[in-house]
Structure 1
Amino acid sequence: MSQEPTIVSKEDLENRDAKWVSLKKLNWKDHTGKERVWEVAERRTRGSSGLDAVAILAVIRSKTNAFPASTVILEQYRPPMDKFIIEMPAGLVDANETPEQAALRELHEETGYKSDKVLESSSILASDPGMTTANMKLVTVDVLLEDKLEYPDQKLDEGEAIVKRVVELKSLYNELKEYEKKGFMIDARLNHFATGLEMAERLKGSL
């Protein structure tokens, strides 16, 4: 029986009891030589690659131009925000896995789409540098379909509840605004990308 997810309780967590993250205190000196203290969260899952996670921008196209260039976005409840978040496919990088391999795996698991062509893989990016050492790469992949738009089955792990939606790239910015009106929260990475597309279109010819 399905029900709306909800926070049952919230309490302090000791580092020794944490499985996924730890809290550290940094003692550092600023540009004047003054000693300062900073609290920082670290992932416990980072492997030897030094990379925590990937986000995936999937460009979905048709060989016959049967539909406009599109992308896939996800609706997923995120307990830290206690909200449904609209976001790109994303996930942690497994041991002995390249960022690109992780991106293709996560895309297939979360959306059902397959790709064998990476268009671009970013440098390592800071996720939230004022609070955490967590980092990521943005991997852009090409999903080229034979003809009409297809909706393959997701390959979700037990306990995952993720809704996928395919959106035309030219409509992405406005679609996210509609999500906000419905009470959803937009992930910053997806919002930045959509805003960049929108601003490029609005300023076309004026730069």
Structure 2
Amino acid sequence: MSVEYLVKISKPMLEGAGTTISLFLIAIALSVPLGFLFTLMSRSRFKLVAGFAHTYIYIMRGTPLTLQLLFFCFGLPMLPVIGEFLVMDRFVAACLGFVLNYAAYFAEIFRGGLLSIDKGQHEAAQVLGLSRWQATVKVIMPQMFRVALPSVANESITLVKDTALLYAVAVPELLHYTLTAVNRDFNLTPFVVAGVIYLMMTLALTLFFKFLEKKFKYE
């Protein structure tokens, strides 16, 4: 394994890692707030709204992410009447699939966080004269995020690794360039390099969430 070979394979693999990071950032930025929205919907007093949220979460968590990606990338354009209007770039379609899938998981994480909050917190907020919205934003949500943070961190790390599923829908990312190098050169070194890149990304996430946990702990 020479330095020249490492440089040769690292350039395209780092480009693929850029796609991986882009997908992760888009997915995490959109799926977290969407997941919280579904958490609120699932707790709605309106049965139709709550039923829709529960059904959505069940479907998205109960079917493989790979199947969902294949549907968004190749299935949507095949729908009768509206299919021609749903043709998207594969990366965009994959982002949609990841966002909708992970929103369901984050919704369950946030639901667990809300359930861990003692009912006395709601009553205390009412005694202080806070409206239901004010109590949720200023009292309940900070405590919920503190409880849910370790699970959110774990799910975020899983998201980084799941980005490798882009390979299944022919979006060139880190794994795509890794396998291309392995098949071309009949060399296992690209697997090692890819593993190191994934470990660096997950390490950065781990350190970030540890920082957040310490910050929430002392607030």
> Which range, TM-score by smaller chain?
under 0.3
**Larger RCO (alpha carbons 8 Å, 6+ apart):** 2
TM-score (norm 2): 0.25
Higher helix share: 2
Which structure would you say has the larger Rg? 2
TM-score (norm 1): 0.26
